[in-house]
Amino acid sequence: MAKTNPGRFFEDYTLGQVIEHAVPRTVGAGERALYHALYPARHALYSSDEFARTSGLPQSPLDDLAAFHVVFGKTVPDVSLNAVANLGYAEGRWLKPVYAGDTLRSASEVIGLKQNSNGKTGVVYVRTRGMNQRDEVVMEYVRWVMVRKRDVDAPAPETVVPELSKVIDPADLVIPDGLNFTGYDFAQAGEAHRWGDYEVGETIDHVDGVTLEEAEHMMATRLWQNTAKVHFDATFRPDGQRLIYGGHIISLARALSFNGLANAQMIVGLNGGAHANPAFSGLTVKAWSEVLDKAETSAPGVGAIRLRLVATKGGEPFALKGEDGKYQPDVLLDLDYWALMPM
Amino acid sequence: MAKTNPGRFFEDYTLGQVIEHAVPRTVGAGERALYHALYPARHALYSSDEFARTSGLPQSPLDDLAAFHVVFGKTVPDVSLNAVANLGYAEGRWLKPVYAGDTLRSASEVIGLKQNSNGKTGVVYVRTRGMNQRDEVVMEYVRWVMVRKRDVDAPAPETVVPELSKVIDPADLVIPDGLNFTGYDFAQAGEAHRWGDYEVGETIDHVDGVTLEEAEHMMATRLWQNTAKVHFDATFRPDGQRLIYGGHIISLARALSFNGLANAQMIVGLNGGAHANPAFSGLTVKAWSEVLDKAETSAPGVGAIRLRLVATKGGEPFALKGEDGKYQPDVLLDLDYWALMPM
Amino acid sequence: MAKTNPGRFFEDYTLGQVIEHAVPRTVGAGERALYHALYPARHALYSSDEFARTSGLPQSPLDDLAAFHVVFGKTVPDVSLNAVANLGYAEGRWLKPVYAGDTLRSASEVIGLKQNSNGKTGVVYVRTRGMNQRDEVVMEYVRWVMVRKRDVDAPAPETVVPELSKVIDPADLVIPDGLNFTGYDFAQAGEAHRWGDYEVGETIDHVDGVTLEEAEHMMATRLWQNTAKVHFDATFRPDGQRLIYGGHIISLARALSFNGLANAQMIVGLNGGAHANPAFSGLTVKAWSEVLDKAETSAPGVGAIRLRLVATKGGEPFALKGEDGKYQPDVLLDLDYWALMPM
């Protein structure tokens, strides 16, 4: 028997199956510094332990997206090794901040299966949870991917497509214990704009751009122990290019959004997301945002803001889809998330 | 109102104005390791906690230049976003070592203004201070930059050019509390040459070279949260190249100077500096030094040495300026600093 | 007198000479994270402090190969600055795990000398030991290199070629204090295969590949303070390429071997190794392993497995040498080591 992992094929998934993913990972000061080296990250809560303490937290947490990447990375050998496409995200919630010294692991439950009409592939829906060393769930999200069948003649499973919320109800967002923005220092945070200054429908061009490098996306993707071959092996694709992990674009766009959204400090909800077009080394990534909604929270001085974050490889900002309803060719990412902001 | 930061233009500065820069930053074990990964840094005081303790410090401080970069990086959005050129440094002093867990912020005071005769730009002089979480000033320096005017018709401010010391008087250098080189281990430090072995006028070719890489200078520059577009966005310059942050060249040259100056352990003064020519990926950087002066200090076994550190992209060492008084085309950096050395 | 280090030439070595290498180095959370960013490292004992504790250790040690690189890096300025070739390794043993906060230094004893018949070069054999801040030896190994003579007319030393074990006797392997695999979690470790599942003679193709990048190998090599010019300076070689540090290939191949050998957790012995062909940026590295031997140990639940780890730049797996006894042109590395595995 071959000792290497061939990955799961569509017929290997069954409804209700729970997959415990290897390998647990302890995070710390190194991951924090590398996140700041790989992305132009400047949100003050993650940059300064002092700022975090003034906000009611014991110290700066690991960047929320870094926590997401660590949890996500573990699922790759079990969920997406034979995936043809990463189709979507929903119902993502950050439930506990991750601190230096925490050890993360993750597990996924199969919540939906649907064979495609071509009989060669199917869609697998999983709900993934990341846990810390105290077995507390630090985040959860639903992802669905298109996976190849090993044997096209394998029988199709009963079709079950889960009902997923298009948007997380703001009442279901989890605010970290103790979070308090009443003493928020806007000057140190970098911008004066508070929750009340943003209007639903408002768009923001984040102006700055970053040109993608092979060494940077590979280091980032390895750091999250995401092992999908296409990100590392230039001989894998016929065009000799390495496909960049979609999460690298998410983190880059989020960091770029500091310029205009410096006070959208913590990400607490992921409503949905699409990697609209593949990204490769040499492209220059820019970002723009749109305010989709706003909500109050029960935490002192803390408001919630729902944002669309779009990463592009050029072109005009604010162009998302064409008349045919398809993403513009320059759009790399369309992400819909909830963040916490001082009121 | 646009929510992104357009940067300040020349007419936005007023004499005596104090600008508190965002974003505070906690440094630690990650920054230390990355500094050693990005530069061939080997000075023992920063490499080994044990060596630092033998020298009277509680542990290895963050590299002095890393502290400088963190303090400097914060000033970029407020001082040099619309800068045409970084013209010079003076009166730089390191006042307190920075240790893992410290949180740095910085503030600048406008100490000089001079509109250029073309009416389109002006020179702004700022004195920048970096503070830790106990409000102790960890370093300070003067920098002057040429900044564009937003409106060429805006009236010129009264011209004030600060009087700046060409060289810091050695009596004004601040030696870290407790520093003691009487038990200095020259074998572990890497070279036998002590303060008394260097003569004023002596020149040293540091021999080694390092070829510049895009991923490396971008990771370094991001790590210091320096957001100047020209360092990251290949589409920003007409020639499609990314201009390398001058501080990357400073750190690289300083690390290369280990070979011949392994015992010039701590940088305590920055007398001046010029980025003589721009640096780009693909160039190979070499370095040479000249001993400019020497002074005794009050700390046991500790001498001060004033060094010129020159980074080049090739050519013969020790050629600095042509007969016309201009820097040779191969010279990238001309830095004048004070360091501490065992006597 | 020139103050830079010219390196030692063949006639500078004498039998029995002990060379204390500069510069001591404190390792920690930053080196750990960088190791995971630079290599696709996933062995659970090094990834998760919790997994390490379940295995009887206080926390995750620094990766065994990172410890090797730090110890090795210090020897370069004294042993291989004028080396023509790195000829071999033998009798390598890891004696104590290295933990965050430990400070490493190293020293080498000259145990053999043999001038080559051309009179221009000679072979130097050294036994190198790495020590922590408590003067405990954390690892040791023998290395032999071909070194240039400064003066071809210098007299040849008496030839002494040390007798070196081809393989470390499993009874001489040192198991870390407290190591215990009786509570080993195979699901979290990533694979179900235990010591008993591997057969001597079995070969494993590790499937995955990683394309080499200049920025990555340079960052890794700098992190270990290995200063050999050929790794950093593109102008040094006539072909304009930077030769990649052989240790970078070792770490990369070992990390790739996770896929099929996820439970070969700790490296405790290095029987031998050859860098069969040079590696350069742009190549895609793959790896395969062969089980050479197995042995029991006295630690609970812990078996030893002797593995050949081969890194290639393409071609078919399992092809090592041609009929002429020479390595195939695609082979980069042939490493023979002992690892510890759950029984």
DSSP one-letter string for A270-307:
EEEEEE-S---TT-EEEEEEEEEEEEE-SSTTEEEEEE
Residue A243 corresponds to which amino acid? Answer: L
* Minimum CA–CA partner of C4 in chain B: B260
Q: Which chain A residues have a beta carbon less than 8 Å from that of B214?
A: 211, 213
What's B111's DSSP letter?
E
Best CA proximity match to B257, nearest among B65, B94, B124, B1: B65
CA dihedral B73, B74, B78, B83 (to 10 degrees): 0
Whole-number Å distance between alpha carbons of C100 and C144: 30
Angle at C126 between CA C125 and CA C131, to 5 degrees: 165
For residues C197 and A64, give the distance between their C-alpha atoms in angstroms, rounded to a whole number.
40
CA C241, C246, C247, C252 dihedral sign is positive
In this prediction, residue A315 carries a pLDDT of 83
Helix (H) or strand (E) holding B333: strand B331-342
CB-count exposure of residue C45 (10 Å: 0-12, 13-18, 19+): buried
Q: What is the pLDDT of residues B324-333, one digit of tens each?
A: 999 999 999 9
Answer whether B124's CB lies under 8 Å from B78's CB. Answer: no
Pairwise pLDDT comparison (A240 vs A79), residue with the higher score: A79
Q: List, for residues B71-110, the tens digit of each pLDDT value.
A: 999 999 999 888 888 899 999 999 999 999 999 999 999 9
Q: How many Å apart are CA B167 and CA C123, to the nearest integer?
A: 51
Identify which of B5, B103, B234 has the shortest CB distance to residue A259.
Answer: B5
Give the angle A17-A20-A21 at the CA atoms, nearest 5°: 125
Flag whether pLDDT at B1 surpasses 70: no
For chain C, 343 residues long, give each residue's pLDDT as a single digit of tens.
589 988 899 999 999 999 999 999 999 999 999 999 999 999 999 999 999 999 999 999 999 999 999 999 999 999 988 888 889 999 999 999 999 999 999 999 999 999 999 999 999 999 999 999 999 999 999 999 999 999 999 999 999 999 999 999 999 999 999 999 999 999 999 999 999 999 999 999 999 999 999 999 999 999 999 988 899 999 988 888 899 999 999 999 999 999 999 999 999 999 999 999 999 999 999 999 999 999 999 999 999 999 999 999 988 899 999 999 999 999 999 999 999 999 9
Alpha-helical (H) ranges within chain C are 29-38, 44-47, 49-54, 64-75, 186-189, 214-223, 246-256, 258-261
A249 alpha-carbon distance from chain centroid: 9
Tokens of A99: 């601190």
What is the greatest pairwise CA distance in chain A?
A: 63
CA dihedral sign of residues C245, C248, C253, C256 = negative
Minimum Cα–Cα distance from C221: chain B residue: B37
- Specify the 3-state DSSP secondary structure of A39: coil
Q: How many Cβ pairs within 8 Å bridge chains B and C?
A: 132
Q: Which helix (H) or strand (E) holds A38?
A: helix A29-38
Q: Contacts of residue C22 in chain B, CB cutoff 8 Å?
A: 42, 44, 187-191, 262
CA distance A46 to A68: 15
**Are B165 and B89 spatial neighbours (Cβ–Cβ below 8 Å)?**
no
| Closest-CA residue of chain A to C44 | A23
**pTM of the model as a whole:** 0.97
B269 closest CA partner among B203, B125, B172? B172
Give the per-residue pLDDT at C1.
57
Instruction: Flag if B29 and A34 touch (Cβ within 8 Å).
Output: no
How many C-alpha atoms does A30 have within 13 Å on its Cβ side? 28
| A283-304 per-position pLDDT tens digit | 999 999 999 999 999 999 999 9
Tell me which long-range contacts B158-161 makes (C-beta under 8 A, separation of at least 24): B158/B15, B158/B113, B159/B113, B159/B114, B159/B115, B160/B15, B160/B111, B160/B112, B160/B113, B160/B114, B161/B112, B161/B114, B161/B125
Q: A3, C32: Cβ pair inside 8 Å? A: no
- The beta strands (E) that lie in A28-82 are given as none
Disruptive mutation site among B60, B194, B216 for chain C (greatest number of C CBs within 10 Å): B216
Query: Would you call B261 and C222 a contact, using CB atoms and an 8 Å cutoff?
Result: no
Instruction: Find the angle CA(A96)-CA(A97)-CA(A99) to the nearest 5 degrees.
Output: 130
Name residue B196's amino acid.
G
Q: Which residues of B touch A282 (CB under 8 A)?
A: 234
Cβ burial, residue C283 (10 Å; 0-12/13-18/19+): buried
ipTM: 0.96
For the record, the structure tokens of B50 come out as 């044990």
Pairing of strands B83-94, B266-275: antiparallel
Contacts 24+ apart (CB under 8 A), A130-133: A130/A67, A130/A70, A130/A71, A130/A104, A130/A105, A130/A106, A131/A104, A131/A105, A131/A106, A131/A107, A132/A96, A132/A98, A132/A102, A132/A103, A132/A104, A133/A102, A133/A103, A133/C50
Mind telling me how many Å the CA of B167 is from chain A's nearest CA? 33
How close is the nearest chain C Cα to the Cα of B208, in Å?
6
Average pLDDT over residues A225-254: 92
Q: Which residues of B touch A199 (CB under 8 A)?
A: none
Taking each helix axis from N to C end, the angle separating A214-223 and C214-223, rounded to the nearest 10 degrees, works out to 60
Q: Is C10 within 8 Å of C148 (Cβ atoms)?
A: yes
Largest CA distance in chain C: 63
Q: CB-side exposure of B165: number of CA atoms within 13 Å? A: 14
Alpha-carbon span A331 to B217, nearest angstrom: 27
Q: Is the pLDDT of residue B166 over 90?
A: yes
Amino acid letter for position C252: L
- Per this entry, what is the length of chain C? 343
Residue A323 three-state SS: coil
Number of alpha carbons in the 13 Å side-chain half-sphere of residue B292: 20
Question: In 10 A of CB A293, how many CB atoms?
Answer: 16
Question: What is the least distance, in Å, from the CA of B317 to any CA of chain C?
Answer: 14
- Judge whether residue A90 has pLDDT over 70: yes
- Tens of pLDDT, residue by residue over A142-163, are 999 999 999 999 999 999 999 9
Report which of B167, B155, B160 is spatially closest to residue B124, judged by C-alpha positions.
B160
pLDDT of A120 above 80: yes
Q: Closest chain C residue to A103 measured between Cα atoms?
A: C48
Q: C111 phi and psi, to 5 degrees? A: -115, 0
Chain B residues within 8 A of C20 when measuring between CB atoms: 187-188
CA distance B36 to B20: 30
Amino acid at C221: T
Q: Give contacts of C28 with chain A, Cβ < 8 Å.
A: 29-30
Mutate to test the interface with A, among C38, C45, C49 (most CBs of A within 10 A): C49
Q: Per residue in A306-331, pLDDT tens? A: 999 999 998 889 999 999 999 999 99
Which of A294, A291, A281 has its CA nearest to residue A252?
A281
